[in-house]
Amino acid sequence: MEQCLTQRQREIVELAGRLADEFAERAAEHDRDGSFPFENYERMREEGYLGLTVPEELGGMGAGLHDLILAQERLAAGDGSTALAVSMHVSPIGQLASLWRASGDERLADVLRRAADGRLVYASMSAEPGDPTLMSSRTTAQPVDGGFRVTGKKIFGTESAVCTEFSTRALVDDPERGPTVIFFRLPRDVEGMTVKETWDVMGMRATQSNDFELDDVFVPEEDVFHRYPANHFDGTMLKTVWGWAMPTFGAVYLGIGAGAMAFARELALKMKKADNPEVQHLFAEMEVLLETARAVLHRHAHEMETGALYADLPVQEGMSKAVLAKYVATNNACGIVDRALHVVGGAGYFRRFPLERMYRDVRAGPIMPYTNLEAHDLFGRTSLGIEIAPAVSLPDSHRPQTSGIERAVR
Ligand SMILES: Cc1cc2nc3c(=O)[nH]c(=O)nc-3n(C[C@H](O)[C@H](O)[C@H](O)COP(=O)(O)OP(=O)(O)OC[C@H]3O[C@@H](n4cnc5c(N)ncnc54)[C@H](O)[C@@H]3O)c2cc1C
């Protein structure tokens, strides 16, 4: 169904659409070769897409979370891999922008200006086996003069092929505060980092999300931008990483679903199948899946933009709502692509058509964090009032001046 958009949103979606249509032409080749789409990054740099979420006063396009979701859905309809890869840049940059708005920190402003003019490509590469909820880390950080020495193995380094710097995490055994998770920035060419070419996978092949190792890497104290006690939910992480990444991942996978649906529609009309009641039923179901997912994503964006989700709710409750946005969008996306395959039939099985790639790409959605299993655990226990982990509240400096719900009503 058509979306109701403001003039500004229409312009952002049109930009994403132009890029998506162009990237779609080379997506099959990158998928087949498992090659990273560097030329797509050049185009996104030229068109200002890499500065999408940088505030306008710092040279960017000023997109908020809602705009970002709309843009990423449209981009992914053409090329899921590029859309997922660039999420790891535009979403963290949007998070840094929200921190800059609260603090006015000049160092953050510098990062954002460099993202706006395309000199900086950011990546968020903190995954490790066994702890996708970021509560702890197997990567260790030893305190040394002026910072830390970090050693560990990381997986799923999306954008490691193109980023200029990235954030990741490690665990410090702090003698005073106890085990503490630290998040820090590293330059991509830092001494002691080695990328392992392990990315030979089912889908999202052009993301080149390779493993990498950090061996005794030095992290200056000033590059540690956040810390919280291990095995806690953290209010600042909800406002930033979870509040932004969950809907952004959701939007990417939903976009793949929307792309599959568009392909199925084109084929159904061409093959004169539109009068078939079964085909009509499949389109009705796909519309319901698409629109309900959009509704949940857009509600989430509204609750983030008013601040209600992270400032007014207990942290575990807010986490549940953030994860719900990703859960609904990624699972509905799989449901849409499955139905699109039924509409298209045998042609959908051929690699010369994009549906075969979309079918594989969309499967990564429910296994990215929060995975379906982790989400069920979070939703079920939160619904029953069971505390999963203690929470660290959002600091007052990160809260909106008035309550989010009041702000929404005004
Ligand atoms: C295409 C793709 C790109 C990615 N890109 C990035 C990236 O750029 N940066 C990044 O940081 N990460 C990225 N990730 C990785 C992702 O963030 C996860 O950390 C990673 O998938 C976890 O690996 P795993 O499934 O081996 O985890 P494991 O933690 O070993 O999980 C294995 C299984 O156990 C289940 N499980 C684990 N904990 C629980 C629990 N508490 N309750 C119930 N079930 C549980 C999981 O659901 C899963 O089924 C990407 C993932 C994919 C698929």
Alpha carbon distance 16, 77 (integer Å): 10
Strand partners, 143: 148
Q: What dotted CATH number matches 140-229?
A: 2.40.110.10
The answer to whether the beta carbons of residues 257 and 289 sit under 8 Å apart is: yes
Q: Which of 84, 198, 330, 373 should be mutated for ligand 1, with most atoms under 8 A from CB?
A: 373
Chunk the chain into consecutive blocks of 10 residues (it has 410) and report each block's average pLDDT, rounded to whole numbers: 95 98 98 97 97 98 98 98 98 94 91 95 93 89 97 96 97 94 96 96 98 98 95 96 98 98 98 97 98 98 96 97 98 98 96 97 97 97 98 88 53
Contact 404, 243 (CB under 8 A): no
Q: How far is CA 293 from the centre of its chain?
A: 16
Q: Which residues contact 25 (CB under 8 A, 6 or more apart)?
A: none
For atom 14 of ligand 1, the residue with the nearest CA is 156
**In the chain, where are the structural domains located?**
7-121, 140-229, 233-409
Residue nearest to atom 43 of ligand 1 (CA): 374
Residue 187, strand partner residues: 165
Residue 152: both structure tokens together: 């560990």
pLDDT at 410 (0 to 100):
40
Q: For ligand 1, pick from 95, 131, 156 the residue to mutate: most ligand atoms within 8 Å of CB.
A: 156
Specify the residue for token string 């660290």. Answer: 392
Say which amino acid occupies 393: S
Q: Are 311 and 400 a contacting pair, CB within 8 Å?
A: yes
Position in ligand 1 atom list of the atom nearest CA 123: 8
Q: What is the CATH number of domain 233-409?
A: 1.20.140.10
Phi-psi region of 125 (alpha: psi -120 to 50; beta: other; left: phi over 0): beta
Joined tokens for residue 83: 């859309």
134 C-alpha to ligand 1 centroid (Å):
10
Place of tokens 């964090």: 369
SS3 42: helix
Pocket of ligand 1 (CB under 6 A): 88, 124-127, 129-130, 132, 156, 158, 204, 207, 209, 364, 367-369, 371, 373-374, 377
Task: Indicate the SS3 state at residue 76.
Answer: helix
CATH 1.10.540.10 fits 7-121, yes or no: yes
The most distant pair of C-alpha atoms in the chain lies apart, rounded to whole Å, by 73
CB 92 within 8 A of CB 122: yes
Q: What residue's CA is closest to ligand 1, atom 52?
A: 368
pLDDT recorded at residue 132: 75
